[in-house]
Amino acid sequence: MSLRVHELSFAYGYRVLFDRFDFAADPGQRVGLVGENGAGKSTLLKLLAGAEIPHGGTVHTGPDVGFLHQELAYPAHTPLPAVVEDALAGIRRAARRLDRLAEAVSADPSEAVLAEYGEALEWAQAHDIWGADRRAAVVLDGLGLGGIDRPVGELSGGQRSRLGLAALLIRQPATLLLDEPTNHLDDPAMEFLERHLTRLSGTVVLASHDRVFLDAVCTAIVDLDPALGGPARYGGAYRDYLAHKRTERARWEQRHAEEQAELRRLTESVAVTARAVAHDRPPRDNAKMLYDFKTGRVQKQISRRVRNAQQRLDELTANQVRKPPPPLRFAGALTAPAGEDELILSARGIHVPGRLELSELDVTASARLLVTGGNGAGKSTLLTVLAGGLAPQAVRRRKGLRTGMLAQDVTLPDPARTPRGLYAEAAGPDSPALADLGLVAPRDLDRPAGLLSVGQRRRLALAILIARPPDLLLLDEPTNHISLTLAEELFYALGSAPGAVVLASHDRWLRREWDGATLRLEQGRTV
């Protein structure tokens, strides 16, 4: 059954998320929701699932909907196999009903019984009830849960999250709603999920910050935070969406430039040009009556032109498109001249017990180094060492080297100050305004920084680093807690950041697109 949303309206207090929003998805389509944090991705999924009630409009999803909840709704003593069997319960009932209807058709092949049997058979085929047990085993193995027989309460948080996802995939509803399904998944599990979702015949609507996942799975992208107008839908995968957005951005910039040029022309026309239709020439002899007649006609013509120009100026002023926000850029430019890339940091014999062993690392003035590895490999530890927080005896720095680090846990110098004040103190004269960076929401600019969430504080810290970049910039998971648009802008901005950049990231898209040097760590050692 198709999913249909018509003129959906929803708000939290005075904050409107959707205003007469239309949305549709058909079986076989997999729609990704993207947008700034707070744009309404999770809320839309809840509205589709019936967990939130719209303030206006209608939502039609059909009766067979599955929504990925953040917490498992099972007591702690429930064994994992019991959760799986519960996910199969509806399929077991459908199989028994299909057998009963088959017998009924043999006894009474009436039109009504045949129709009921046909409907049940269609449901069974859509849910692949004959392969359900095999599917359960494949899903559990694919998500790293195969062979586990422990109670839910003894599972880790990541395992419980994966079990909830597994139960949903095993049930295989006609409409699947997924909010950040790749959380707690390693690379093999994410690749399994990508393959599994692309084989489904039903409708899938999902929100994810994993750009590789969106690119591999989605047949369409809905941007809830578009450049112009309301939410917009783009056909194709994530890579196609990026191409559409680049084209849209170019059109926006062109339209803005043309409107500003037209505003300048109209302003000049009203002030000067429209009044210059005729020069104030003195009348010739014996021509005063003719002069008065012509002057009156000219003045009417001037008045009409001024009036028309003013009307057009007022309309364009009231409805002009806003200026496109500048893309994320570092203040300053590359400081290391070509061919003169000096060594700014040298590390030898890095040893942090139980966390990191690294024999050597050299960083030059314009280095671009990506540090990769699994959880616990020592990525964050290495950045802390380079920043001077650990094993200081192992690192030698160029005299006067300024180092700045974006840590996963940000500590602000004065939590009582506002983001605007903290940024203004750090920013230079050529730095963009904090509001223009898109990293701090307008409503948070003048709140005490200590009241911001962890993600909001990281975004503020990133803004301060961008405004006045150090000689060595250390970034620990920089794409966490920022929108996909900002993540794209940050990636391209890193190419022209002044000084050296060393970043650690598990972001698959960033790793795939990275063309600089890479250092892979595994369980505290170099690979």
DSSP result, 240-300 = HHHHHHHHHHHHHHHHHHHHHHHHHHHHHHHHTGGGGSS--PPPPTT-HHHHHHHHHHHHH
Name the residue type at position 294: K
- Judge whether 342 and 365 are in contact, CB under 8 Å: yes
Beta bridge partners, 175, equal 65, 203
CA distance 32 to 217: 8
Torsion sign (Cα): 153, 156, 161, 164: negative
Asked if residue 88 has pLDDT above 80, the reply is yes
The more confidently predicted of residues 408 and 8 is: 8
- If we measure between CA atoms, which residue out of 187, 238, 234 comes closest to residue 211? 238
Q: Does domain 343-526 have CATH number 3.40.50.300?
A: yes
pLDDT, position 295:
56
For the chain, percent of residues with pLDDT exceeding 90: 45
The domain 72-173 having CATH identifier 2.60.60.20: the answer here is no
Do the Cβ atoms of 408 and 505 come closer than 8 Å?
no
Structure tokens at 471: 């000689």
Handedness of CA 345, 350, 353, 354 (dihedral sign): positive
d(CA 229, CA 208): 23
Do residues 388 and 403 touch, judged by C-beta distance below 8 A?
yes
498 or 163, which is more confident? Answer: 163
pLDDT at residue 444 tops 50:
yes
Q: What angle do CA 12, 18, 22 make, to 5 degrees?
A: 150
Residue that the structure tokens 């069997």 belong to: 85
* Long-range CB pairs of 144-150, under 8 A, 24+ apart, other chains included: 144/186, 144/188, 144/189, 145/80, 148/80, 149/79, 149/80, 149/81, 150/79, 150/80
* Nearest of 319, 356, 361 to residue 343 by alpha carbon: 361
Beta bridge partners of 168: none
Determine the pLDDT at residue 405.
Answer: 92
**Amino acid in position 327:** P
Q: Is the pLDDT of residue 291 over 80?
A: no
In angstroms, the first-to-last Cα distance of the chain is 50
Cβ atoms of 48 and 61 within 8 Å: the answer is yes
Q: Is the CA virtual torsion 278, 282, 287, 291 positive or negative? A: positive
Indicate if the alpha-carbon torsion angle 399, 405, 409, 412 is positive or negative. Answer: positive
Sequence-separated (6 or more) residues with CB below 8 Å from residue 204: 29, 30, 31, 175, 176, 178, 197, 217
The tens digit of pLDDT for each residue in 344-378 reads 999 999 999 888 999 999 999 989 999 998 878 89
- Of the pLDDT bands very low, low, confident and very high (cuts 50, 70, 90), residue 281 is low
* Mean predicted confidence (pLDDT) in 151-179: 93
Report the distance separating Cα 527 and Cα 524, nearest Å: 10
Average per-residue pLDDT for the chain? 86
Mean pLDDT of 469-475: 92
- Alpha-carbon distance of 86 to 98, in angstroms, equals 19
* Residue 336: per-residue pLDDT: 47
Beta bridge partners of 427: none
For residue 157, the model assigns a pLDDT of: 86
Tokens of 152: 């839910």
Angstrom distance (rounded) from CA 268 to CA 266: 5
Task: Tell whether the model's pLDDT for residue 75 goes beyond 50.
Answer: yes
What is the amino acid identity at position 216? Answer: A
pLDDT tens-digit series, residues 258-273: 888 888 888 887 777 6
13-17, 253-257, 367-371 — which one is most confidently predicted on average?
367-371
The residue with greater pLDDT, 347 or 483, is 347
The 3-state DSSP class for residue 301 equals helix
| 3-state class (DSSP) for residue 62 | coil
| 525 pLDDT more than 70 | no
Residues 395-440 have pLDDT tens digits of 999 999 999 999 888 888 788 999 999 998 888 777 778 888 878 8
pTM: 0.84
pLDDT (average), residues 490-508: 89
pLDDT at 439: 84
pLDDT-above-70 percentage for the chain? 91
* Both tokens assigned to 370: 């990506």
How many Å apart are CA 81 and CA 385, to the nearest integer?
A: 45
**Within 10 Å of residue 388's Cβ, how many Cβ atoms?**
13
